[in-house]
Amino acid sequence: MSTSTQNHLYDVVVVGAGAAGVGVAIALGHAGIENMVVLERHTVGTSFALWPAETRFITPSFPTNSVGMLDLNSVAIGTSPAFTLEVEHPTGLEYAVFLKAIAEHFEVPIRENMDVTRIAREGDEFAIETLVGTVRARHVIWAGGDFQYPNLDGFVGSKLCQHTATIPSYAQLDGDDFIVIGGYESGIDVAYHLAKRGKRVRLFDRDHPWESESSDPSVALSTYSVERTREKAFAKHVRLFPDTPIAAVSRSQSGYEVVTLDGRAFETPVPPLLAGGFKGSHPLIANLFEARDDGFPLLNEHDESTITPGIFLCGAAVRHDSLIFCFIFKYRQRFAVVAKAIATSLGLPAEGLERYRLWGMYLDDLSCCGEECAC
């Protein structure tokens, strides 16, 4: 990084160039903010590109409809993965290509291979430390993503399992008898694809998300996944174990032993597949935010830290009371809220953000919104 770049003071630095980072950066541009940069740890859309090859978006993509609502997987007005990619359920790699395309179209200033190691508030500025130098800014938006850090700490021996996020392709998995731990979206996904290949699968979950009566996809299986559980191959080859938390995994003479909390033991010749979710990236900036009771960052009405003015959260970790904004079509509602707050602090009118309200991408009044409305 050049000396001139290190000495430059940006109005905004966005950390992360995934769906949240690219989307909020485009909103900043619409708000009239030009002096900004997006710092990406790897390359644009890397988290999506690393999905298993068979995994697809559970939310369907459609170009538009008669009332002008956006494609559910779009992060910018006037764009649609369905139109660009000509697919209804994109793969992760396809979506990464889409993100790169719209970032180039909107001329989002992105610097790749900029791994942020620390953020500190220094007076009225932020020092964003990277492996190649320090970037300074008046405001920071943390959009570091939530699906780069697999959760491997759920039970004794969990590190002996293979997390589903580390599987390049389900077709590469050797064996005919698998145990899957975790029955939410990624657990159902791997079980479905293994079943299609005629593999035996035993799937354990501490709850029973495939039987949930909730309509909120943040806590229940999506319709896309539920439909898969009804296919003949799934019914034939997959056995579900609801309300069965795992106590421990250990090596055995025949492979691996999985012990449930109620004392039952199950053998498998290959490492159990762990679909236990992710830790998220927000713990990396925990010192700059108060914590909610559930461990997520506490935010004000503009998605800004309540203890460190000027740093905002964007993406799947956003929470407001009982509202969970963990899907793209949920957290994109907050892009314009963040952009407007920053533009206002910079003395800009942010007139270009009005289109977000008209297109249903601008939710600034949480008091009017129940849990179902945010979903």
The HSE-up count of residue 210 (CA atoms within 13 Å, CB side) is 23
When pLDDT is cut at 50, 70 and 90, the band that residue 347 belongs to is: very high
Averaged pLDDT for residues 186-190 = 96
**What is the reported pLDDT for 2?**
55
**What is the reported pLDDT for 111?**
98
**What is the reported pLDDT for 108?**
98
Domains of the chain: 3-148+279-374 (3.50.50.60), 158-274 (3.50.50.60)
Q: Is the pLDDT of residue 122 over 90?
A: yes
- DSSP class of 249: E
pLDDT digits (tens, 9 = 90+) for 352-369: 998 888 777 887 777 545
pLDDT digits (tens, 9 = 90+) for 130-164: 999 999 999 999 999 888 888 888 899 999 999 99
Q: Is the pLDDT of residue 179 over 80?
A: yes
Contact 335, 356 (CB under 8 A): yes
DSSP for 157-187, please give it: TGGGSEEGGG-S-GGG---SEEEEE--SHHH
**What is the reported pLDDT for 63?**
80
Q: Is the pLDDT of residue 6 over 80?
A: no
| Beta-carbon contacts of residue 166 (< 8 Å; ≥ 6 apart) | 150
3-state DSSP helix/strand/coil % of the chain, to nearest 5: 30, 25, 45
| Mean predicted lDDT score pLDDT of the chain | 91
pLDDT digits (tens, 9 = 90+) for 15-57: 999 999 999 999 999 999 999 999 999 999 999 999 999 999 9
pLDDT digits (tens, 9 = 90+) for 219-253: 788 899 999 999 999 999 999 999 999 999 999 99
Q: Is the pLDDT of residue 216 over 90?
A: no
**What is the reported pLDDT for 5?**
57
Contact 31, 338 (CB under 8 A): no
DSSP for 275-307, please give it: ---B--SGGGGGGGS-B-TTSSBPB-TTSBBSS
Instruction: Give the rounded percent of residues in the chain with a pLDDT score beyond 90.
Output: 80
**What is the reported pLDDT for 160?**
96
When pLDDT is cut at 50, 70 and 90, the band that residue 1 belongs to is: low
C-alpha 135/C-alpha 204 separation (Å) is 45
CA distances from 293 to 171, 296, 312 (A): 40, 8, 19
| Beta-carbon contacts of residue 34 (< 8 Å; ≥ 6 apart) | none
pLDDT digits (tens, 9 = 90+) for 251-307: 999 999 999 999 999 999 999 999 988 888 989 999 999 999 999 999 999 999 999
**What is the reported pLDDT for 373?**
37
* Full-model pTM: 0.92
Rg (CA), the chain: 22
